[in-house]
Amino acid sequence: MSSALLAMSRHLEVRDVLKTIVASARELLDAEYAALGVPDDHGGFAQFVVDGVSDAQWKAIGPLPRQHGILAAMLREAKTERLGDVRKDPRFEGWPSAHPEMSDFLGLPIRDGDEVIGALFLANKKCPKPQGGCGFTMEDEELLTILAQHAAIALTNARLYERSRELTIAEERSRLAHELHDAVSQKLFSLRLTAQAAAALVDRDPSRAKGELQHVAELAAEAADELRAAVVELRPAALDEDGLIATLRTQIQVLDRAHSAHVTFDCGGIRALPAAQEEAMLRVAQEALHNALRHSGAEHVRVTLDKRGPGAVLRVSDDGGGFEPQAVRHAGRHLGLVSMRDRSGGVGGRLTVESEPGKGTTIEMEVPGG
């Protein structure tokens, strides 16, 4: 049981969490089949994970089940179901022809507070069962209840993590919309007026029309610059509202909860930094954290932010596998290290990457302050 729980807490992607839960449930309770469904809002399942069914069998069965029959009852009533023969239950509505035969059934809702966020169920206990009764015992039910409670935590964490990512994206999107509106649409408006003026003048006064057209070209170039600036300087809204330290602290707390690695943050008290430097620091911290959590397999990731002269130093270190910075080919897909370097350079700062295979990684960024 505890190794099942450990395995669960190690996974982050919702689908991996679900797979681990289902496989652990089937193994622990010695069942032939196990499944877990997370309902969507349209009568179907957003996720449906099975264990004990081969890929070929799974394909043959056809589309994902809808929320009907026993599954629907479990989701709706949030009640445990322990049945001797699922096919004899009045709520049973049949299954596709390639569906494996199932008789004894144990199903449990997965709850987050009052909300049912999924259902976990097992079929066909492997050992012999009492005549007419259910092969799954009261003890099985208790075991599955514990598993379902932990599944709820893991699922909620994974959802929290995904939501925080979505939130960041939404924030940036609205910021971009504002900047585009303020800067670029005004430029485009003058551009339109100037072009109209040029059109009106072209027959009457060709040389003035020419001047207006030059103006059109200038305005177009300015609009392009504004657009680029709006995209590049996209500032996360949280930075303006809460400042660098609080923003980092919140983001790190979320990461710590979402990942099995311990992610900590210590701040030695720094002076306020110019906005551009704060933003660059936040971006570098985000990428360095992302890399540590994605590539290093670390148990601990430590982020520190300290004062150095009028400026500040950010350090992100992990105790993971490390890598050879020189060996990273910058062509193609790997943009993180390059962009961290660009961002540091862009605000007059400095980035150092210290890493060695087997020895973990430390990314250090220093900015000059204002």
Ligand X SMILES: Nc1ncnc2c1ncn2[C@@H]1O[C@H](COP(=O)(O)OP(=O)(O)OP(=O)(O)O)[C@@H](O)[C@H]1O
> Residues interacting with ligand X, by CB under 6 A?
291-292, 295-296, 318, 320-323, 328, 333-337, 361
Indicate which of Mg ion, ligand X, none lies near residue 121 (CB less than 5 to 8 Å, by partner kind): none
Compare residues 274 and 325 and give the one whose CB is closer to ligand X.
325
Structure tokens at 198: 């040029």
Closest CA to 257 of 18, 5, 6, 9: 9
The three-class DSSP label of residue 232 is helix
In eight-state DSSP terms, residue 170 is: H
Closest CA to 290 of 155, 173, 164: 164
Indicate which of Mg ion, ligand X, none lies near residue 295 (CB less than 5 to 8 Å, by partner kind): ligand X
The answer to whether the CB of 278 falls within 8 A of the CB of 307 is no
Number of residues that bind Mg ion (CB under 5 A): 2
Compare residues 200 and 338 and give the one whose CB is closer to Mg ion.
338
Compare residues 42 and 333 and give the one whose CB is closer to ligand X.
333
Indicate which of ligand X, Mg ion, none lies near residue 329 (CB less than 5 to 8 Å, by partner kind): none
Compare residues 67 and 291 and give the one whose CB is closer to Mg ion.
291
Compare residues 105 and 161 and give the one whose CB is closer to Mg ion.
161
**CA–CA dist 74, 121 (Å, integer):** 10
- Min dist CB 288 to Mg ion, Å, is 8
- Min dist CB 321 to Mg ion, Å, is 15
Residue 361 as a binder of Mg ion (CB under 5 A): the answer is no
- Min dist CB 329 to ligand X, Å, is 9
- Min dist CB 292 to ligand X, Å, is 4
Closest CA to 161 of 267, 9, 21, 23: 9
The answer to whether the CB of 60 falls within 8 A of the CB of 98 is yes
Question: Edge to edge, what strands does the sheet with 350-355 contain?
Answer: 262-267, 300-308, 311-318, 361-367, 350-355
Compare residues 336 and 346 and give the one whose CB is closer to Mg ion.
336
Compare residues 60 and 335 and give the one whose CB is closer to ligand X.
335
- Min dist CB 343 to ligand X, Å, is 12
Compare residues 75 and 281 and give the one whose CB is closer to Mg ion.
281
The three-class DSSP label of residue 71 is helix
Beta pairing, strands 262-267 & 300-308:
parallel
**CA–CA dist 129, 156 (Å, integer):** 35
Q: What is the amino acid identity at position 242? A: D
List 336, 346, 348, 368, residue binding Mg ion (CB under 5 A): 336
Residue whose CB is nearest to ligand X in the complex, by number: 336
Compare residues 5 and 261 and give the one whose CB is closer to ligand X.
261
Between the alpha carbon of residue 319 and those of residues 198, 294, 314, the distances in Å are 65, 13, 17
- Min dist CB 257 to Mg ion, Å, is 21
Indicate which of Mg ion, ligand X, none lies near residue 277 (CB less than 5 to 8 Å, by partner kind): none
Beta pairing, strands 311-318 & 262-267:
unpaired
- Min dist CB 342 to ligand X, Å, is 12
- Min dist CB 300 to ligand X, Å, is 12
Q: Mask 13-52, x = binds Mg ion (CB under 5 A)?
A: ----------------------------------------
Indicate which of ligand X, Mg ion, none lies near residue 265 (CB less than 5 to 8 Å, by partner kind): none
Cβ burial, residue 357 (10 Å; 0-12/13-18/19+): exposed
Residues 269-328 that bind Mg ion (CB under 5 A): 291
The three-class DSSP label of residue 128 is coil
- Min dist CB 303 to ligand X, Å, is 12
Region of 195 (left: φ > 0; alpha: ψ -120 to 50; beta: rest) is: alpha
Indicate which of ligand X, Mg ion, none lies near residue 320 (CB less than 5 to 8 Å, by partner kind): ligand X
**CA–CA dist 60, 81 (Å, integer):** 27
Region of 108 (left: φ > 0; alpha: ψ -120 to 50; beta: rest) is: beta
Contact positions vs Mg ion (CB under 5 A):
291, 336
